[in-house]
């Protein structure tokens, strides 16, 4: 083993077992944006969380389904399409965590959804998605600053693409639109059984500074302006609701997009829960309009997620029936902000 890489696998026994010795060639020769290079060689706080999460998940998969893992190993180590590698790593993390919670009740599938949980009283279909930047949203170089002993490269990133319709779109609106359309055809989900869309946001190349937990709130503030949470609004907003990129408290010029579609849980959908997996937080959104019977014991299990964040999750339990009212209160507040802080 190349000793230069060993310290990047501290306390990650199963990740090392999964990748070595083949990964040495990737670390030596691949491009900088290869998912494994970014994950293994980065030692940021987020990267350490992701490596640890992946390691724990691999441990559980080795115990329950090593044959499945061998097939995924080939993709991770030989695939030329980086998106497929990223998606496979996200799938591994999700599978390992499902096994942690439900054990051998979880089955990996070859068609339909990625996994099914066959519990005693209910089945749950789970489909994994590892979101990617828009091709137009890749980092763009702005300038190079250089002194005698230091070079700084300045770039910016608009993950979901730059607004194209002047005066209509804004950056947050583009993000809302992209997030609301994930797995839009929904053929992987069930009309009658519980269905989960699992979003893995742990690719260190796609999200080098993190996706941002504030995107899970209905609305927040930054530099004396309101900003809409892209993920929350993609799920719970309705057509004609306001999406604020930066809405000034002082009547200065603001950018407001008006929704041209309903959010995912405000339209007809088979999805009952969206689990969003960040490096150090996991947030669960429940469909307040679902007509399916959701057993209490299933919702309780979601509290067992590695980094479950209760304060940011939107669940209709234990106070069943309260979520719909909570969502509507948030939507009304968003509307009123435009009136009280109007230019």
pLDDT digit of tens for each residue in the chain (343 aa)?
445 788 888 889 999 999 998 998 899 888 878 899 989 998 889 999 999 999 999 999 999 999 999 999 999 999 999 999 999 999 999 999 999 999 999 999 999 999 999 998 899 999 999 866 544 445 544 455 566 666 664 444 556 666 777 766 777 888 889 999 999 999 999 999 999 999 999 988 877 666 789 999 999 988 888 889 999 999 999 999 999 888 878 877 677 888 999 999 999 999 999 999 999 999 999 999 999 999 999 999 999 999 999 999 999 999 999 999 999 999 999 999 888 887 5
Please report, in angstroms and rounded to a whole number, the separation of the first and last CA atoms in the chain. Answer: 63
Report the pLDDT value the prediction gives residue 10, as an integer from 0 to 100: 83
Report the pLDDT value the prediction gives residue 132, as an integer from 0 to 100: 63
Distance CA 204, CA 40 (A): 10
Instruction: For residue 273, give both structure tokens.
Output: 């829960």
Q: Which residues contact 98 (CB under 8 A, 6 or more apart)?
A: 106, 115, 117, 126
Instruction: For residue 331, give both structure tokens.
Output: 């939507």
Distance CA 82, CA 34 (A): 6
> Which residue in 210, 206, 237 sits closest to 330, CA to CA?
237
Report the side by side order of strands in the sheet with 242-248. 219-221, 225-228, 242-248, 255-258
In which residue are the tokens 């892209």 written?
A: 230
Distance CA 8, CA 31 (A): 18
Q: Are 195 and 272 in contact (CB under 8 A)?
A: yes
Q: Model pTM? A: 0.89
Q: Which residues contact 6 (CB under 8 A, 6 or more apart)?
A: none
Domain ranges of the chain: 3-126, 135-181+211-275+282-296+318-340
**Rg of the Cα trace of the chain?**
21
The beta strands (E) that lie in 130-241 are given as 140-146, 151-156, 194-200, 219-221, 225-228
């Amino acid at each position: 083993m190349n000793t230069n890489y060993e310290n990047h696998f501290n306390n990650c026994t199963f990740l090392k077992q999964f990748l070595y010795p083949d990964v040495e060639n990737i670390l030596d020769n691949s491009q900088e944006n290869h998912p494994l290079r970014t994950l293994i060689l980065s030692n940021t706080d987020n990267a350490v969380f992701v490596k640890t999460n992946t390691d724990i998940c691999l441990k559980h998969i080795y115990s329950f389904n090593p044959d499945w893992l061998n097939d995924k190993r080939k993709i991770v180590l030989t695939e030329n399409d980086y998106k497929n590698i990223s998606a496979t790593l996200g799938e591994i993390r999700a599978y390992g965590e499902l096994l942690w919670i439900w054990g051998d009740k979880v089955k990996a599938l070859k068609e339909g959804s990625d996994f099914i949980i066959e519990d005693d009283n209910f089945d749950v279909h789970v489909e994994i998605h590892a979101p990617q930047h828009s091709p137009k949203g890749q980092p763009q170089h702005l300038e190079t600053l250089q002194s005698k002993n230091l070079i700084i490269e300045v770039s910016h990133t608009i993950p979901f693409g730059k607004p194209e319709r002047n005066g209509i779109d804004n950056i947050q609106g583009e993000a809302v639109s992209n997030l609301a359309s994930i797995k839009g055809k929904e053929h992987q989900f069930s009309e009658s059984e519980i269905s989960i869309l699992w979003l893995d946001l742990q690719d260190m190349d796609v999200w080098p500074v993190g996706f941002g937990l504030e995107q899970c709130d209905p609305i927040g503030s930054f530099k004396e302006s309101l900003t809409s949470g892209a993920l929350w609004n993609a799920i719970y907003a309705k057509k004609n609701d306001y999406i604020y990129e930066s809405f000034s408290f002082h009547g200065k010029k603001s950018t407001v997009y008006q929704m041209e579609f309903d959010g995912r849980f405000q339209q007809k959908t088979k999805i009952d829960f969206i689990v969003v997996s960040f490096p150090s937080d996991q947030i669960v959104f429940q469909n307040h309009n679902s007509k399916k019977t959701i057993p209490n014991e299933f919702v309780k299990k979601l509290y067992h997620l590695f980094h479950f964040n209760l304060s940011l999750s939107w669940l209709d339990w234990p106070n069943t029936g309260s979520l719909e009212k909570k969502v509507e209160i948030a939507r009304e507040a968003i509307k009123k902000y435009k009136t009280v802080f109007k230019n």
